[in-house]
Amino acid sequence: MNPVSVVTGANSGIGRATAIALAKQGHRVFGTVRGLDKAAKLNAMASQADVHIDLVEMDVADDDSVRDGFKQIQSAAGRVDHLVNNAGIGGNAVTEDCSIALYEECMNVNFYGAVRCIQAVLPQMRERRSGTIVNVSSVVGRVAAIAQQPYVTSKWALEGMSEGLAQEVAPFGIRVAIIEPGVTKSAIFAKNTGHPEGSGAYAAAYRRMFQFYAKGISEATDPMEVGELIHEAITTNQPKLRYAVSWAGPGMIAGRMAMGDKAWAALGNHEADADYYAAFERYFSVNIAP
């Protein structure tokens, strides 16, 4: 019997690559999209790969939409073996400039959206005593990247929930995996280019954040690499809780763990961008200089 997998946010980037990667491995894949008209490229790439993706219209930020979407999947397939919570949005702001509304928007999609989907599949996974929940976090779920507080906060929340969830569901034969990509090729960057005007006191923070992504976009990892890693996380006989991947991901996570909190805070003291970029490379083995 072919495994049944649900991939949220399947219309672009990591979600699209993961849906296709799992389908190529024989999964029956339900890809959720906010509108069926947004899935033209997904359909074209699936056709090129000679696979089929079942499309489900779903907005993970809406309770009713998630409930109706999973009802449709349950009716069509009878179960969900693997859930990949990938749907997400970015958000740029330093703490002083960030509105509560922007925090709420990121949390509602990136964190609450994952919780909604998890709650929709866990009862039948528990009953069958099997299943995998894969939560796509980010390098910023482990490293509080500068000037992205709403995004960082939502991903740290996702990581904390995922850690707790892993223990909660282990007695029922359900596994949890956290995927922590660095920069991958995705439409999310084209949609995430602004920041609040705010006080004007944090120009250096915003400038350095955008330089990180300018360098990252030029080096961005093919999202199919992440999709294939997600397949590995689902199928491996030696599962891990966390998987770091993509440009800057492993280096930044390892560097942050090694550098200590004092050095982390002091990184913000560099007045010259060149000194900041040099320190960034020294700590994280990632060159972000222009």
| Spatial distance between the Cα atoms of 25 and 231, rounded to a whole number of angstroms | 8
DSSP 173: T
Q: Which residues of 184-202 are buried (b: 16+ CB within 10 A; e: fewer)?
A: bbbebbeebeebeebeeeb
Question: Which residue among the candidates 151, 206, 213, 243 is catalytic per the annotation?
Answer: 151
Return the C-alpha torsion angle 27, 30, 229, 11, nearest 10.
140
Phi, psi for 244 (deg, rounded to 5): -90, 140
CA angle 22, 28, 34 (to 5 degrees): 85
CA angle 139, 110, 154 (to 5 degrees): 60
Q: Is position 151 annotated as part of the catalytic site?
A: yes
Residue 133 burial (C-beta neighbours within 10 Å; 0-12, 13-18, 19+): buried
Which residues are designated catalytic? 151
